[in-house]
Amino acid sequence: MKNLKISALFIIGIVFSSIISCSNNDSTYKITVTTEVPAVYKKIYGATSISSDGTYIYIKTKDLPDHKSTYYPTTNALYESYSGTTFGGNTFVKNPNSIIEQTTTVKLPLNPVVASTHAATPLGAIGIAINGVAFFNQYAGPKNQALTGEIATFDKYYGHPQPQGVYHYHVEPLYLTTVKSTKSGLMGFLLDGFPVYGPKEENGTMVTNAILDDYHGHTHVTVDYPNGIYHYHFTDEAPYLNGNGFYGTPGTISQ
């Protein structure tokens, strides 16, 4: 009986060693650790996928607005001819660009914190809206010019594409604030991981530049963050979304 026990233990040891060996040498046996994506990021309904490694949130999107636009090709079901007024009461003037599907990956800090040095926002995408469309800053290319000339080219929902076909919002994304959400709702995130809200507070108060800091945000409780968080707001006057740079340390975006 004693010899049988020793033999059994010896066999178990060999099997266990084999499993360890397989798990080290055969990828079939490797375990991938996944991290649950917090519910607030799942509000980005325009993403094709959202994942997390516990440090960053990864959001993939095609950057295609889910609303009609005169910038879609005429063969697209969402194409709509438009003439009228746009942001600020400007008469709409169409730019020569068209919306083109992108392959975009946005990397955001999962737990954003204030940066010791505030990086300036670049031309191009600085964040992502909940419908998967890019946010741009308050400047027009190529030399950080005021948006004065470009504003007239915003479509009926206050967005437009740049020469490579990247559709984006510089100002309040009207479709989100009036159709998909509300003027006080979550609009998306900047690359530093801090959320962006519409031009009103949850109590209905209109947000003005005077109550925001140099980065165009402030800190208080929101419905998405009951413990409070720093967040940006859209306003109806420059700089519209962001002021003197990112409040936190930005992640990355590839297009």
R_g over Cα of the chain: 24
Distance CA 97, CA 120 (A): 27
What was the pLDDT predicted at 163? 96
Do 97 and 142 lie in one domain? The reply is yes
What was the pLDDT predicted at 16? 35
Region of 204 on the Ramachandran plot (φ > 0 left; ψ -120 to 50 alpha; else beta) = left
Do 89 and 3 lie in one domain? The reply is no
- The β-bridge partners of 80 are none
Per-residue tens of pLDDT for the chain, all 255 residues: 444 443 443 333 433 333 333 333 333 333 334 579 999 999 999 999 999 999 999 999 999 999 999 999 999 999 999 999 999 999 999 999 999 999 999 999 999 999 999 999 999 999 999 999 999 999 998 888 999 989 999 999 999 999 999 999 999 999 999 999 999 999 999 999 999 999 999 999 999 999 999 999 999 999 999 999 999 999 999 999 999 999 999 999 997
Sign of CA dihedral 162, 166, 172, 174: positive
CB 212 within 8 A of CB 69: no
Pick from 242, 20, 250, 43: nearest CA to 144: 242
Q: What is the pTM of this model?
A: 0.86
Do 223 and 178 lie in one domain? The reply is yes
Do 44 and 146 lie in one domain? The reply is yes
Do 73 and 5 lie in one domain? The reply is no
Do 103 and 9 lie in one domain? The reply is no
What was the pLDDT predicted at 13? 42
| 71-74 own/partner pairs: CB under 8 Å, 24+ apart | 71/95, 71/97, 71/98, 71/99, 71/155, 71/159, 71/160, 71/161, 71/167, 72/98, 72/99, 73/98, 73/99
Do 58 and 140 lie in one domain? The reply is yes
Do 76 and 147 lie in one domain? The reply is yes
Residue 212, domain extent: 39-254
Do 176 and 50 lie in one domain? The reply is yes
Number of domains the chain contains: 2
Do 172 and 236 lie in one domain? The reply is yes
Residue type, 205: T
Do 127 and 246 lie in one domain? The reply is yes
Residue 239: cis peptide before it, omega within 30 degrees of 0? yes
Do 85 and 25 lie in one domain? The reply is no
